[in-house]
Amino acid sequence: MGTSNEGRQAKMIEELRVFIKKVMSDPTIAVKSMEIARKYRGEPNADELVAREISANTTIRIPESWSEADKMFLEILHEVLDDEEALY
């Protein structure tokens, strides 16, 4: 069990490393991702809509079958939106 969990964690870390490198090389990704997340906030199937539009409009590719890193990215978008809402 430990080896399987370690393998999943290593895969997620590698995916996040690739993602961070993309964001660092193109700072518009974060801005576009947040705009897209705001657009679909509260919609039914918002995560699927956000994932599709981010994939279509940035260099970030979120496949139909989400990895743990993809899910984490979408969760973080929600958290940032929640934080924004709390400020107002």
The pTM of the full predicted model, rounded to 2 decimals, is 0.82
- Lowest mean pLDDT segment, chosen from 36-40, 42-46, 68-72: 68-72
Q: What is the pLDDT of residues 48-57, one digit of tens each?
A: 999 999 999 9
User: What is the model's pLDDT at position 23?
Assistant: 87
Specify the amino acid at residue 21: K
| Residue 1 reports pLDDT greater than 70 | no
- Say how far apart CA 35 and CA 80 lie, in whole Å: 12
CA distances from 17 to 14, 45, 73, 81 (A): 5, 27, 12, 23
Label residue 46 by pLDDT band (50, 70, 90).
Answer: very high
